[in-house]
Amino acid sequence: MKMQETLHNWGGLTLNVITDEEIKDICLAIKYNDHGDDFLYIRTYSGEEYEYGYWLSRRDCWADFDPAKNNGESDDMFIRRPMLFKKPNDPSISNETIWYLNRVFGEEFSYKAREKTSVEEINAVLLGIQNIIDEYPNTIYDIEYSKDRLLRIIKKNGLNTKIIDKVKWNSRIGGFDGIAGKKEGYNILYGDTAISVLYRGKDFDIKKLTYSIDHEDEWGCCTYKLNTKQFA
């Protein structure tokens, strides 16, 4: 059996991880976050170290998303490159949806529910949103923010909330935007916080982790250094 994890990333990407390694062969697994991106560190009982993540949107990554390489192939940086089911997020879909809804409902759309509307108007609005999505085929998007606010209006006017399902509010497939990449790992991890630790098949209390402060970033936030050799 493989280990499965969900990794969330700054900018809204949600990636699936199904490790190449069998759970029975994993001595240590640490899921951690660094500047909004989740990563999964793996150490096997035989001492092999790997990391799973996205990386391609980070400033310290010398590789970008490349449609020609969006097939999980290996290169100088990756054992397996990250794969996205659609092209990286274009903010145009989110921005145009908000602008459109503000035009229909007024600026109050962003912070309160409209006093009065009808099924016919909601249907027309949903069609308008679908037209925006259709302008950007095969593109990652997430407009759940707009869905939540439109749902307030629907509920306030006593309309059937199932009407909202006429639009697919994000582009995820099976809940994911893609599959995480894989790199060679190293025993020193840099990040903001540990999310979970599995050690020798059991959950480890992250409050018992030993780490040091490595540096402060440009926003004054501390980056911590965790040495995985604290686990035998």
Six-digit token pair at 87? 């092209």
The pLDDT tens digits along the chain (232 residues) read 999 999 999 888 999 999 999 999 999 999 999 999 999 999 999 999 999 999 998 888 888 899 999 999 999 899 999 999 999 877 889 999 999 998 888 766 665 556 678 899 999 999 999 999 999 999 999 999 999 989 988 998 899 999 999 999 999 999 999 999 999 999 999 999 999 999 999 999 999 999 987 766 666 677 899 999 999 8
Euclidean distance between CA atoms 26 and 47, whole angstroms: 9
Cβ atoms of 2 and 42 within 8 Å: the answer is no
3 state SS of 171: coil
Cβ atoms of 161 and 155 within 8 Å: the answer is yes
Nearest-CA neighbor of 134 among 97, 106, 165, 103? 97
